[in-house]
């Protein structure tokens, strides 16, 4: 399948057509950000799903109902995906929202709001490993080629699911109902994907929303709001490994090819949502001030209890010790992997083949070491260091 059959281009970024459309991106641009919205922003394969699990119970008083009954794409929707319009406007405040968008692509209302942002970063070596495997399993993504080829794409160009799990219970007093009964794509919808118009406007406040968009592509209302952002970063080496496996299991992505081929794509930015370095740097904006929290996938792996405590403090919310412990236990990778509302097992096998590679694969830091040759590691590190030069951003994996 040709790339133009799988992807569309939005402000220079490749987006998979299966969850993005002209309508969903128009919805993104016009989306009205609320001051109590909480955004979890990541580069792909850096912890988005994790944040979709974490935020709903944190925002709901520790209630785990949503994470046990609602798919993560609806309880913390993607801002930029097609389901956003179906879910986001119906979510009660405070909403948890996830995104992969760059800062400059956020909606105009974001820049006028007081919404908060949690930006999760992951070691780019782990990012590329995760992305490589994702490309192998996702039929809607192109074949990543060899790992070396995918690395080249990556360099020329983290845990979103985790945040979809985390944010709803944090925003709802620790209530786990939604994370147990609502798919993660509806409890923290993607802002930029096709479901956004179906979901986002129906979510009660505070809404948890996820996005892969760069800052400059956020909707205009974002810049006028007080909505908060949690930006999750992950080691890009683990990102590419995760993405590689995802491409292998997702039918809507191109075949990733070998890991080396996929790495070449990753480094050249010929992968979904562009270069990892551009994404990370786009969200380092002084004007965001205390609206944004930066956290890494690696910090969450090392001490999830501390990470959730810090997120609660950032959101200005409190949970009882018992409720927080319950949310932390629910949001462990082991428990998310068995939660059908979070592990994407509800998606038909012809779209995402978990037999090729499970969507929630390992949930560890450092798996890139099992994929990178010394030569590829040196090449990857040199490109990332050169492109991050002068940014003054430091990561725990360095």
Active-site annotation, residues: 212
**Contact indicator for 261, 146 with CB cutoff of 8 Å:** yes
Q: If you ran DSSP here, which 8-state letter would residue 11 be given?
A: T
Q: How far is CA 27 from CA 18, 24, 49, in A?
A: 16, 5, 22
Candidates 295, 279, 283; CA nearest to 121 is 295
How far is the C-alpha of 50 from the C-alpha of 217, rounded, in Å? Answer: 23
How far is the C-alpha of 18 from the C-alpha of 247, rounded, in Å? Answer: 14
How far is the C-alpha of 14 from the C-alpha of 29, rounded, in Å? Answer: 17
How far is the C-alpha of 52 from the C-alpha of 50, rounded, in Å? Answer: 5
SS3 261: helix
CB proximity list for 137: less than 8 A, separation 6 or greater: 245, 246, 247, 248, 249, 250, 352, 353, 354, 356, 357, 358, 359
For 201-251, the DSSP string reads EESPSSEEEEEEEEEEES-TEEEEEEEEEEEEEEBHHHHHHHHHHHHHHEE
How far is the C-alpha of 356 from the C-alpha of 113, rounded, in Å? Answer: 42
79 token code pair? 């801002």
Q: How far is CA 208 from CA 79, 262, 284, in A?
A: 9, 32, 21
């Amino acid at each position: 399948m040709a790339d133009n059959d799988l992807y569309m281009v939005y402000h220079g970024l490749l987006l998979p057509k299966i969850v993005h459309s002209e309508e969903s991106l128009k919805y993104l641009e016009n989306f009205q950000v609320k001051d109590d919205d909480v955004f979890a922003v990541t580069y792909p394969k850096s912890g988005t799903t994790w944040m979709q699990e974490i935020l709903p119970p944190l925002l709901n008083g520790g209630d785990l109902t949503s994470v046990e009954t609602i798919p993560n794409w609806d309880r913390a929707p993607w801002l930029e995906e097609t389901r956003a319009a179906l879910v986001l406007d119906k979510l009660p405040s405070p909403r948890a929202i996830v995104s992969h968008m760059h800062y400059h692509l956020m909606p105009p209302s974001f820049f006028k709001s007081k919404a908060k942002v949690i930006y999760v970063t992951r070691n780019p070596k782990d990012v590329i490993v995760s992305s490589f495997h994702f490309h192998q399993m996702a039929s809607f993504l192109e074949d990543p080629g060899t790992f070396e080829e995918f690395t080249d794409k990556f360099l020329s160009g983290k845990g979103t699911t985790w945040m979809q799990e985390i944010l709803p219970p944090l925003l709802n007093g620790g209530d786990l109902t939604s994370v147990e009964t609502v798919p993660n794509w509806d409890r923290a919808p993607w802002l930029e994907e096709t479901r956004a118009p179906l979901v986002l406007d129906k979510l009660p406040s505070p809404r948890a929303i996820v996005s892969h968009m760069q800052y400059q592509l956020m909707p205009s209302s974002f810049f006028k709001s007080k909505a908060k952002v949690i930006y999750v970063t992950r080691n890009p080496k683990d990102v590419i490994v995760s993405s590689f496996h995802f491409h292998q299991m997702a039918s809507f992505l191109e075949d990733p090819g070998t890991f080396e081929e996929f790495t070449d794509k990753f480094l050249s930015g010929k992968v979904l949502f562009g270069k990892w370095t551009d994404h990370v740097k786009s969200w380092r904006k002084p004007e965001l001030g205390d609206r944004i929290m930066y956290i890494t996938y690696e910090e969450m792996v090392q001490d999830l209890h501390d990470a959730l405590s810090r997120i609660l403090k950032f959101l200005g919310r409190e949970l009882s010790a018992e409720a927080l412990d319950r949310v932390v236990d629910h949001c462990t990778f082991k428990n998310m992997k068995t939660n059908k509302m979070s592990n994407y097992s509800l998606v038909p096998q012809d779209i995402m083949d978990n037999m090729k590679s499970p969507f929630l694969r390992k949930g560890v830091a450092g798996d890139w070491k099992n994929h990178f040759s010394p030569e590829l590691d040196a090449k990857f590190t040199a490109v990332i260091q050169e492109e991050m030069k002068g940014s003054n951003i430091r990561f725990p994996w360095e």
